[in-house]
Amino acid sequence: MSSVVNGIAETDKEFVTAIARAMTVMEAFDAAHPEMNLSEIAALTGISPATVRRCLHTLSVVGYIRQTGRKFRLGPRVLSLAQGYRDANRIEDLVGLEVQRLVEAFDDPSSVAVLDGFQVVYVATIARPSNLRPSARIGTRYPAHATSLGKVLLACAEPSLRATYLARPQLEAPTDRTLADPAALAQALIRIGQQGYAVSIDELDYGVASIAVPIFDAQGRAVAAINSSGYSGRHSEDSLITGRLKMLKDCARAISARLTDGLVVP
């Protein structure tokens, strides 16, 4: 990550390296790394320990990081950033009703996500309390190509972005069902773009089946995607298409109709 930041700083004179590194430090904390010491953060981010120390000190002073002994964790002020994004982009007003409609219709989770670099980020999600499988939460990130949401967004993305994604030396494969071969994925994205939907069965995790369609803004850009997911033991690709695709497209069209300036991609 540090080399990426350094590379941008060399070519973009308006780029503030210190801010980018501080954000990288905050983003290092997740469910797998809820609490870390300085050395662990440096190793995970690729940022030097001295720079990490300065970032942690600054973030602690302003309330985004909390320290207990030698360990650091995110502070509650981080929540204001996420809530600010949701409020500024009227996420609940735009997508909440349609996500709820899908959950009530199929008794399975439904989510809306946007594309952020090589990942999808969930900006809205609803699941029944009775769902046995843990579902994604707001802010959850997954490799785009391993999800139906990400695949449909990649299929609708600018060709240059798609080429950059496919040119990566290695694509993550969470399961042996994940379509992680760049050439095969490229062909699949062409097909997805033509048909207007993507299906993922056991690609993100065993037992997870989902179907997703894009959400368009007033300019016709695919700015987000909405899905309906369930247990792959009960749902095949055909059953998702025949049973859920029509309603999913209806919900996506309803959301698209509410968009005037577009849902801002993070």
Decide: 140 and 117 in contact? Cβ < 8 Å: no
Angle value at C-alpha 95, between 93 and 96, nearest 5 degrees:
75
Characterize the bridge pairing of strands 119-126 and 141-143. antiparallel
The C-alpha atoms of residue 53 and residue 56 are separated, in whole angstroms, by 5
Nearest in space to 142 (alpha carbons), one of 92, 204, 87, 86: 204
CATH of domain 2-76: 1.10.10.10
Q: Do domains 2-76 and 81-258 have the same CATH topology?
A: no
The C-alpha atoms of residue 15 and residue 146 are separated, in whole angstroms, by 31
Nearest in space to 222 (alpha carbons), one of 251, 188, 265: 265
User: What tens-digit pLDDT sequence spans the chain (266 residues)?
Assistant: 555 454 454 566 778 888 899 989 988 988 788 899 999 999 999 999 999 999 999 999 988 899 989 999 988 778 677 666 666 556 666 777 889 999 999 999 999 999 988 999 898 888 876 555 556 788 888 999 999 999 999 999 999 999 999 998 889 999 999 999 999 999 999 999 999 999 999 999 999 999 999 999 888 899 999 999 999 989 999 999 999 999 999 999 999 888 754 444 44
Please list the residues that pair with 161 across neighbouring strands: none
pTM score, whole prediction: 0.73
Looking at the domain 81-258, which fold is it? Beta-Lactamase (3.30.450)
Angle value at C-alpha 225, between 223 and 227, nearest 5 degrees:
170
> In the chain, what are the domain boundaries?
2-76, 81-258
